Amino acid sequence: MKKIANLYLALVFIILYLPIFYLIYYAFNSDGDMNGFQGFTLEHFQAVFSDSRLMLIVAQTFLLAFLSSLIATVIGTFGAIYIYQAKRKLRDGLLSANNILMVAPDVMIGAAFLILFTMIGFQLGFVSVLLSHVAFSIPIVVLMVLPRLKEMNADMISAAYDLGASHRQMFQEIMLPYLTPAIIAGYFMAFTYSLDDFAVTFFVTGNGFSTLSVEIYSRARQGISLEINALSALVFLFSIVLVIGYYFISREKEEA
């Protein structure tokens, strides 16, 4: 039974990762298409770095992901604390509203934001995309922080108050250090979601602003370009670094 389970797991990983490695493999192809590997070259990576517009979009995308995940982490953390401390009926209602945003289709969320921004006359661009990313990232942070709160020993909080600690001191000295691993996990999850989001961003981005996912989609529609493969390889490499960094940071926080 264990061998069958391992075989199934290996098959799942092959299905998931084979297309990615196939894409990366042809990023080093000296030919201009994916019909056959002609020889090794780094010219497609050089083309990516020499494309000033693409580099600007990469910078915009990472800035957007950094800001949106940071804002969403702050709001989501305090939101999770409020939900945890709320009465049962209110808590259940807030959790249901939070979960609806998690399971709602991205197309619907993007269309809703587009209608909202159009109705109030808000100009589409960086700020509209930022607000949208913050909105769909907050539920992610809440779901990462809330289980950690439920595991927290309530006696720790009671003991802090009995010793004369204020609400601020209790939060800084007791609750925040305990929640730090979950907060970091929520930040990284929100960062990842923002980085690769396409559906919501496609609806609310303006003519003067674009993100990496929207740009790749636009270029892919014009035809196969191995620059896209090279760019995808770099993003995949960055994702691996991000996961490794998160692993070491979370392990250090858990051991502290």
Per-residue pLDDT of the chain (256 residues; tens, 9 = 90+): 677 878 888 888 888 888 888 888 888 888 777 777 788 888 888 888 888 888 888 889 999 999 999 999 999 999 998 988 888 888 888 888 888 888 888 888 899 999 999 999 888 889 999 999 999 999 999 999 998 888 887 777 788 777 777 778 888 888 888 888 889 889 988 998 898 888 899 899 877 788 888 888 887 777 667 888 888 888 888 888 877 877 777 676 556 5
Q: Is the dihedral of CA 98, 100, 106, 107 positive or negative?
A: negative
Would you say residue 112 lies in a domain? Answer: yes
Question: 218 is written with which tokens?
Answer: 């636009």
Question: 101 is written with which tokens?
Answer: 């945003």
Per-residue model confidence (pLDDT) at position 224: 66
- The total of structural domains in the chain comes to 2
The helix/strand/coil state of 78 is helix
On whether the CB atoms of residues 44 and 229 are closer than 8 A, the answer is yes
108/160 same-domain check = yes
Helices (H), the chain: 2-25, 43-50, 52-85, 88-103, 106-119, 126-151, 154-162, 167-170, 176-196, 199-204, 212-221, 226-255
Per-residue model confidence (pLDDT) at position 255: 60
Per-residue model confidence (pLDDT) at position 226: 83
34/95 same-domain check = no
Per-residue model confidence (pLDDT) at position 253: 59
Give the domain range for residue 238: 51-255
Task: Write down the pTM of the prediction.
Answer: 0.83
On whether the CB atoms of residues 117 and 199 are closer than 8 A, the answer is no
88/187 same-domain check = yes
Please give the DSSP secondary-structure letter assigned to residue 104: S
Q: State the CATH number of the domain containing residue 250.
A: 1.10.3720.10
Per-residue model confidence (pLDDT) at position 25: 86
87/120 same-domain check = yes
On whether the CB atoms of residues 131 and 209 are closer than 8 A, the answer is no
Question: 35 is written with which tokens?
Answer: 């019909």
Q: State the amino acid at position 198 in one-letter form.
A: F
- Of residues 72, 16, 74, the one with CA closest to residue 191: 72
On whether the CB atoms of residues 194 and 130 are closer than 8 A, the answer is no
CA–CA distance, 163 with 133 (Å, rounded to integer): 41
CA 215, 217, 219 angle in degrees (round to 5)? Answer: 70
